[in-house]
Chain A
Amino acid sequence: MKDMMNIDRNELIDKYISGEWSAEERELFTALYNSDTTFKISADQRKVLVDALQTHHKRKELKAMLEGFHSEIDNHEARKYKTKFTNRIIRFVQVQKHNFAVASSVAIIAIASTFAMTTKYFSDKRMGEYQELNQEIRDIKGYQDQILKSLKSNNSNKNNYHPGKFNGTAFAISTDGYLVTSSHLIRTADSIVIQNDNGLRLKVEPVYKNVAYDLAIVKIVDENFKGFGKLPYGISGKEASLGEKIFTLGFPRADLVYGEGSLSASSGYMGDTTSYQVSVPVNPGNSGGPLLDSKGNLIGVISGKQTASEGVAFAVKASYIQQLLMELPELEEQPQWIGKYSSVNGLNRPQQVQKIADFVFEVNVYND
């Protein structure tokens, strides 16, 4: 080893900071650091100083970059920021306008916030309860087996079992792998897999959701996925008429199930104007399924049903899908979104269903 008195200790500290040093230098540094308090303090202080200097410099660069990002922001658009909470109030105020024409807005907001805080208040028998249609499967036996197993083995890793599995429906909204489903299905999502009636099984990830509309956008992230063909259904954005014949496809069980009926009301549960009331038989698992008219136009997304009476289901209006697409955060790609026109107009129903079935998926959500 070199004579300890003849080395440049100052330079040695710089080498320690840059990390570019030889094994010999490192050894020497460690020896000095552990034996000489003054050297130790000196090295520690220089580390703090150089860290601060580098952070200071990095901030200057970062600040310049952020200024660049900021110049692309449209402040007018940015001011439209709406939270879940304000969305809910606005929606409720709109609903109430129809019911009490002369109510003061203060009272409405008071009611709205009560509604937001306690939905129990409204779940009185006359109204019937609203039920979201996710299907929760608890495989009790499997669960018990897991517990027994984990008791037997010392390694009881909690993350290894999935006690809950939620099912619902999703359908394609772009040719390149974006789908729409109900946001209530994926609120606790950990892992989402979709599967259509042909057995095509793909992994998806959430992209965006708006709980006020109960809608979510998910994207296929499976590398084997090469894109859908042209979507058979279109979205006109026009409000559908009362009495119109409608149908839906969904996965209340492992097979694709067709259901038909008519549009019963232009507002949903408790006068909610973002939804339609429809007379289609729906069951847990139907949530997130497409609601189509006889021409194959997408008019809504199945969201729930009233528990007290049979044949009363609700669907979020399709115009809120368009709204959702507008709210999407900037994507790095330009998806080919759903078009205006249906290509199954004029076909008979079995033909329509056959064409659409490929674009409707069962959603399996596994959460820890």
Chain B
Amino acid sequence: MESRIISTEEDFLRGVRQDDAVVLKRLYKMHYPMILNLVLNNSGDEDEAKDLYQEGFMAFYEQVRREGFQLNCKIKTYIYSICRRLWLKRLGEKSKFSKKIKDDDDFHDLLEDEPFLAENEIKIEVMNMSMAKLGEPCKSLIEDFYVHHMSMGEISDKFGYTNAENAKNQKYKCLQRLKKIFFVNYNGNEGYDEY
């Protein structure tokens, strides 16, 4: 068992920025009861609470790691506020009524963060959809290059292209397809053609 003292808000934030699994786990377990309470009190069930919390926790993670982000309240309050915002949206999708939330905890208005949160949500939703549409081998090829940072030579070997130049052309075509699918849904135009 790791014996490390994480007791200040700054310790926690630093841990999130450094992708420290010990810190993330402690934060996750610490604040789940609060969100479970929020969802159960506002016409949701345990499964919805888990789903909401994970979604909110990921948004929290991305916010903290965003360049220029500044936390203006307690971590607990921030996590609550992000989940509360998401739950309001989900309640709105479920029904036209009951848009009022019964709060047991303090929350922070997210006015400053709203543009980032909204943009991030759209980006992720559109990318999920785009990657599902893209299909293989393009999906793996693109991920290998842009996420796993494999070289064209490695990619060529993996996919059985005759040489790296062929792999590069294939990657280019795949990227063009992904770009089209993504930008049509992201902001309604197909984007410029690549060189």
Contacts and interface: CB of A to CB of B under 8 A. Distances in A.
Interface of A: 9-11, 17-18, 38-39, 41-42, 45-46, 48-57, 59, 62-63, 65-67, 69-70, 72-73, 75, 77-81, 83, 85-86, 205-207, 219, 221, 329-330, 332-334
Contacts of B127: 52-53, 55-56
| Of listed B32, B40, B57, residue having the most chain A CB within 10 A | B32
B142 A53 contact: yes
Given A9-B195, A66-B57, A50 B29 contact: no
A53 B7 CA distance: 34
Interface in B151-195: 168, 172, 175, 178-179, 182-183, 186, 191-192, 194-195
Nearest to B145: A14
10 closest cross-chain pairs (CB), A and B: A81-B33, A333-B3, A9-B195, A83-B104, A56-B127, A78-B33, A52-B127, A81-B37, A69-B28, A52-B123
10 contacts: A42-B192, A52-B123, A53-B127, A53-B178, A59-B58, A66-B58, A69-B24, A79-B33, A81-B34, A333-B4
A51 B104 CA distance: 36
A94 B28 CA distance: 33
Of residues A41, A77, A332, which shows the largest number of chain B Cβ atoms within 10 Å of its Cβ? A332
Given A9-B195, A57-B143, 13 more contacts: A41-B192, A49-B175, A49-B183, A52-B182, A53-B142, A67-B54, A69-B29, A73-B29, A79-B37, A85-B104, A330-B26, A332-B3, A333-B1
Interface of B: 1-8, 21-22, 24-26, 28-30, 32-34, 36-37, 40, 46, 50, 54, 57-58, 61-62, 104-105, 120, 123-124, 126-128, 131, 142-143, 146-147, 149, 168, 172, 175, 178-179, 182-183, 186, 191-192, 194-195
Given A53-B127, A81-B33, A330-B30, A65 B146 contact: no
Contacts of A46: 175, 179, 194
A117 to B, nearest CB: 15
A129 B146 CA distance: 67
A55 B33 contact: no
B195 A69 contact: no
Contacts of B46: 75
A147 B26 CA distance: 43
A81 B8 CA distance: 22
A42 B182 contact: no
